[in-house]
A and B are shown apart, each in its own frame.
Chain A
Amino acid sequence: MVRNAELAHTTAMPGVKQIVNLLDDSTAGRRHQIMWIDGVGGFLLCHQDDVMIGQATSVPTADLLIMGDLSRQAIAIRRTGSDYLLQPYQETRIEDVKTNRPQLLRHCQTIAVGTSVRLRFSKPSPLSSTARLDLVSHHRWKPAVDGVLLLADSCIFGPRSPSQVQCPHWQSELLLYKLNGQWCFRTASETLVDGRVAKSPFPLVPGMRASGVDFSFSIEVNS
């Protein structure tokens, strides 16, 4: 009932029709990939253009789940081109300003959802539209990862800024990119994929393990 009321309120606002469909198109329960990078952290890879963020429950009702005091479907984020639009479904503040209508997200903005959950939205690289979501409050993603990558066209992992994921001890960058609809990666160093020497580009395959001179990571499917 509450959700219906929220919907009615939201649809009453001009220019919100498109984003409301997110609820209907919710990818709740969709299987995500997690990139576990040794010595760096774990990152949830979101390939879709729109994601619903909500409370982690035994029956998931959102794409990205947070173990915190927020609605099961709290906010939605839709990517349009290189922009990200936030639609709140419960009390939400962007940079401490309350909002109840779609808002364009900017680099390094803090999103407060409900009473205590706080997220930071960042789009660190001008060369890539991929954005990153981090929990800045003392809450956790489910599954427990260090951040969420909203993959657009490419994503940079490297020792220097601006990278979506900074890997301080790497000597060179690793680039994730889309090639003919398939996510691949490439790096300057010699790479072993599942223990075998391979040549670039390397397709990103669930269950794979890749390692180079100074890096190693695995792709796991979150079930």
Chain B
Amino acid sequence: MEQKNNQPVKYDLNFAREIYSLENGSYIKQCMQCGMCAISCATREIMDYSPRRLFNLIKLGKKDEVLEANTMWQCTSCCTCKARCPRGIPIIDVMHDLKKYAIQNGYSDDPRAAFYKAFWAEVASRGKVFEGGVTARYYLIRGLDELKKAFAMKDVGLNMLRHKRMPLLPPKKVKGLGNLKKIIRKAQELERKEAGR
């Protein structure tokens, strides 16, 4: 991390405590800064901070640096770090928590944040994914400027339509969408319980 104005950094435990109280947040405390996650990570090169550094920033209380970082968004959930972590930290789950926390706290500049939101809204309302729907929602969230990019992609879209890789009309909702919603509610309840540990 770049040191600003040569001022010594201060440790702010409040932010750390907030992150530690997330569903898998308390595991971060176990990090011993060995760097196994960093050397195991396929996307480490394009991350702002490796998971190890991110966890250290959390400890220091660097809220902006942590939540503006692309680290969790670059994570592909490949599970290598989680499998290798000598301290047993479920790093991909921690990354999911951080993504959610970032969105909830207004740190959603990353395009993938918009995609996550679009995908989730689609699944929650239909129980299925409709590509057209996800795309439309994505561009709506990202703003009209992004539409230019969408036009640039139009040939891809047309080709997909032609090869029946993308339906033109939305599919039917799943049977018993009410039950699905119950399942989701139950899962969210469990998540809150986990976080209370």
Same complex for A and B? Answer no
B residues in contact (CB < 8 Å) with A = none
A residues in contact (CB < 8 Å) with B = none
